[in-house]
Amino acid sequence: MTTGGVNLDRFFEDVEAIKEELADLETIYTQLQSNHEQSKTLHNSKSVKDLRSRMDAAVSAALKKAKLIKVRLEALDRSNAANRSVPGCGPGSSSDRTRTSVVNGLRKKLHDIMTRFNDLRQRMSSEYRETVERRYFTVTGENPDEKVLDRLIETGESETFLQKAIQEQGRGQRHDAVREMEKNLRELHQVFLDMAVLVQSQGEQLDDIESQVNRASSFVRGGTQQLEVARKHQRSSRKWACYGIIILLIVVLIIVLSLRPWENNNNNGGNNNNGGNSNGGQNPGLVSPPPPVV
């Protein structure tokens, strides 16, 4: 495929590879969400540990995948910037708009997936907090304040009797799982924030390119209209010039007809002929002598 004289096959190969990575990332999200729902029903220590391992692996894979996609998108950005130096492919050209729009769409897709991961992170944290709060109330009969609850979640060892009760139901493994996943999900959240900034900047860049294209189109339309007006003026000027020439010719013709110079020439010729005949062919310088006297 060629646009603006530049082959786009390699570009779209990279795009397809990123789309596959995005599909894998969505699969990981679905798996992690399913594991989280399953964790709510488990109480056996071994089952919780096995599930924790699967969830840790899923979150780690998601983090690596998201970072890889981010790096590939940045590589496409550099490729697009280099492509703008090619004649006919500068900012606002069809090639540049195509490449920018495609990359921006991929970045928007990654941003949407990261948003879902971020929502899952917040939901997991909130639900785990509620679980610890309920367990604390069950053991002590009191509702923990925010500081106590934060300390319990942060250390898992603040209250010996609470830790023992949690361990008996496999909650210790669940606590470790949540803390580890929180770490990885926070890194995913940072990727999410990076994507949010990039999507916004790319959106502004795309809007700027579109506005430039619109302004260029407006200039082209204005130039076309001005050219058409100039052509009309040119045709009008030619028409009036023709009219002027015709009128001038008519005036000259009228003057010539009124003067009739050919008649004056004929009169002068006739006068010359009459003068020659009246002299009778005699030479005025020769006079006949008088007759002799007898």
Across the chain, what does the average pLDDT equal? 73
Q: Is 280 among the domain residues?
A: no
Count of domains observed in the chain: 1
> Which tokens sit at 91?
């900012």
Q: Is 175 among the domain residues?
A: yes
Residue 41's domain spans which residues? 2-215
- The tens digit of pLDDT for each residue in 43-84 reads 676 777 788 788 888 888 888 898 899 899 999 999 999 988
Q: Sort 244 into a burial class: Cβ within 10 Å, 0-12 / 13-18 / 19+.
A: exposed
Residue 133: pLDDT band with limits 50, 70, 90:
confident
- Give the pLDDT confidence score for residue 102 in this predicted structure: 92
Q: Is 284 among the domain residues?
A: no
Of residues 104 and 202, the one with the higher pLDDT is: 104
Of residues 258 and 271, the one with the higher pLDDT is: 258
Residue 164 has pLDDT above 70, yes or no: no
- The tens digit of pLDDT for each residue in 204-225 reads 555 555 555 555 455 456 556 6
Q: Is 153 among the domain residues?
A: yes
Q: Looking at residue 7, which CATH number applies to its domain?
A: 1.20.58.70
Nearest to 185 by CA among 122, 237, 274: 122
- Give the pLDDT confidence score for residue 294 in this predicted structure: 45
Q: Is 258 among the domain residues?
A: no
- Give the pLDDT confidence score for residue 5 in this predicted structure: 41
Q: Is 290 among the domain residues?
A: no
- The residues that bridge with 3 in the sheet, in sequence order, are 6
Q: Sort 79 into a burial class: Cβ within 10 Å, 0-12 / 13-18 / 19+.
A: middle
Q: Is 235 among the domain residues?
A: no
Q: Which residues 6+ apart lie within 8 Å of 51 measured at CB?
A: 35, 38, 39, 42, 177
* Distance from C-alpha of 18 to C-alpha of 196, rounded to nearest angstrom: 18
- Give the pLDDT confidence score for residue 159 in this predicted structure: 42
Q: Is 209 among the domain residues?
A: yes
